[in-house]
Structures are given as structure tokens and as C-alpha cells.
Amino acid sequence: MNIGEVAERSGIPPKTIRYYEDIGLVRPQRSGNGYRAFREMDVHKLAFLGRARALGFSIEDCRTLLSLYEDESRESAQVKAIAEEHLTAIDEKITQLQSMRETLSHLIKSCHGDHRPDCPILSDLAGDPTVVRTVSSLANKAAK
Amino acid sequence: MNIGEVAERSGIPPKTIRYYEDIGLVRPQRSGNGYRAFREMDVHKLAFLGRARALGFSIEDCRTLLSLYEDESRESAQVKAIAEEHLTAIDEKITQLQSMRETLSHLIKSCHGDHRPDCPILSDLAGDPTVVRTVSSLANKAAK
DNA sequence: TATTGAGCTTCCAGTCACTGGAAGCCCTAT
DNA sequence: ATAGGGCTTCCAGTGACTGGAAGCTCAATA
């Protein structure tokens, strides 16, 4: 199976599949003409990766999850631990985004948004505490 | 004022301040010894940038916001439009994260997490539809 | 005065997970 | 014979920094 068909069947673009090979996530064989020759197993692996990535797992997490998947003597606790850690990270991101959302929507509501230059959004960003004063209550670091 | 003091007062690390100069967000003067010489205005600008970044605005948005801030003839509608677009993007991210969160927490609940190898999380990632089957309902692309 | 040591400088490389593009080979159909 | 689409590799760019090396400047101390 060539890369194009694999891409279609796994939902992973060719460029990304090559990248995954580069970093050792899949190891397709090669045909005589130098083309990658994928087996069913590879398609399966790539679809696994696609789903794990869609859940937001990092590439390194995906690598670990794949190896656990292939390890018959794994303990489900190992998998669960990774998932729980990731869930915690997701929750933190959500919390941070909601805090930004909160502040930003307040600011937007307070801005009349017309042809005049007066703007509480800019005033707040400039540090003027008389307007809404909520941004500085945010953690200093934005989402990475 | 040297970069260290500015970093402390603006909350932006020296490395980042130099980076912001590189990309033209601030233009500190120079002293005879080659050191950057910051004025109050620069500290103010950097604090502005810090707050805008904390709200999740991109660097390019920050650049625009700064120039609007300095433009006396701006229309607040321009600022509001940028903020609203950003709010929409935040909402989309939150929605996506919540969808991941939902699926992931279901999977975690269904995994006993002990010494045995059976694991619904892995089964689901592997595409087994008999277990929980929620991941594939996620959009194919993870958060950028 | 000589020497620390902190703080400043520039430049290069790495992060994460791809993605785009160029140059060129391979294969099938006309 | 040629055209095209698909495949190959390699290099560079994305966003927003961050780490590290090599080297200069400055203030304080021995």
C-alpha cells in the first residue's frame, strides 16, 4: 500500500505520516522502487495515533500509549495514569481560557465600539485601573 | 533604565524584551556602552503587551492593538472587532477542549486501572467500537 | 590595581507538531 | 515520446519564546 492510500484510510496526511516515520512512530517497509510499503498494521497504528492526537495527547504520550498498546503485559493503571495526567492538563487549559474569556467579554461589553476613540479595552490594557480592572488578576503567563 | 530593571517593572523577562525589540514591538534607545536604554514609555508599552498577551492575543494582534492605542484618531470599533474575533477563537478552543475532556473522562471512568492489561482507553484508541466509542466523534484536528 | 561577579551584548539552536515548497525519480496512460 | 500524478528527499518556516555560549561592561571588593 502506498502512502496516498494509507493517508486516505487513516485520515493522516502524507506529510504527517512521513514525519511520524522520521520520529519513529511507524516503520513502514520499502518497495524496490523506494516507495514506502505500508501494511494493515501500519494503517491501524496511524489511525490509533490520529485518535490519540484528537484527544490532545502529545506525541510523546502517543509513543508511550502505542507501546503500551503493543505490550501484552501492560497494566491498565499505566494507561489510566497517563490519561488522568492529560485530563488535568486539559482542565487547567480550560480554566485559563475561561478566565480570559470572562475578562475579555466584560471588556467588550463595556466598549461602545463606534467611531469615537475612547475605548475601555485599550484603557485596561494600558493599565488604567479606573475602567474595568480585571486583566491584571490573570496569571502572568498565557497558555502555552 | 537597563533591561533588568525594565523586566522587573514590566513583568516581561529580558529574553522576551529583546525578542520584542527584534520583531519591532519596542524600540529602546542605546547608551554609549551598547546597553539598551529604556524610557518610561517603553516600560508602559511592555506592560501593555504583557496584559494583552495574558488575554491570549497573538503577537500580531498585540502589534495592531499597540498601534491603535497610539493612534489618537482610532475608532473604538476597530479595537472591539479585534477583541470580538479573539473572543470567538477562545470560545472555539474552549468548546474543543471540553469535547476532549468529555470523551477522555468517560474513558478514564471506564478503565479500572489495575495490574491487568485490559484497558478500554486503549481499545477505544485502537478503534474498537464495542467499548465507549466517542473519540471518533471528535473533529479530526486537535487544537492548534 | 587587580580581580571577581553580576549584568549586559549578540548569535545560534531548540521547542512542538507539523506544513509548504523545490527538485527530481517512478509509473501508467495516451 | 510525452504528460500527469504520485512518490522521494531535503530545507525552511510556523509562534512565541527560551537556553546556552562567548564575550564585553561596570561596580565593588581585596
pLDDT in tens, B102-113: 999 999 999 999
Give chain A's mean pLDDT: 91
In CATH, the architecture of A3-70 is Orthogonal Bundle (1.10)
Q: What distance lies between CA B63 and its chain's CA centroid?
A: 15
Report how far residue A22's alpha carbon sits from residue B135's, in angstroms, rounded to the nearest whole number. Answer: 26
Instruction: Tell me the pairing of strands A36-37 and B29-30.
Output: unpaired
The Cα of B133 is separated from the nearest Cα of chain A by a number of Å equal to: 11
Mean pLDDT split into 10-residue runs, chain A, 144 residues? 97 97 96 96 97 97 97 96 97 97 96 95 89 50 36
pLDDT for residue B131? 55
Give distance CA B27 / C1' C8 (Å): 17
Q: Which residues pair with A37 in a beta bridge?
A: A29
In CATH, the architecture of B3-58 is Orthogonal Bundle (1.10)
Q: Are B119 and A33 in contact (CB under 8 A)?
A: no
Place B130 in a pLDDT band, splitting at 50, 70 and 90: low
B73 has a pLDDT exceeding 50: yes
Q: Are B62 and B53 in contact (CB under 8 A)?
A: yes
List C-alpha distances in Å: B124 to A104, B1, B104, B119, B132.
Answer: 37, 58, 10, 9, 7
C-alpha distance across the termini of chain A, in Å:
38
Q: Are A102 and A63 in contact (CB under 8 A)?
A: no
Domain extent listing, chain A: 3-70, 76-137
Which percentage of chain B shows pLDDT scores above 70? 90
Q: Enumerate residues 74 to 103 of chain A having a beta carbon within 8 A of any beta carbon in chain B.
A: 74-77, 79-81, 83-84, 86-87, 90-91, 93-94, 97-98, 100-101, 103
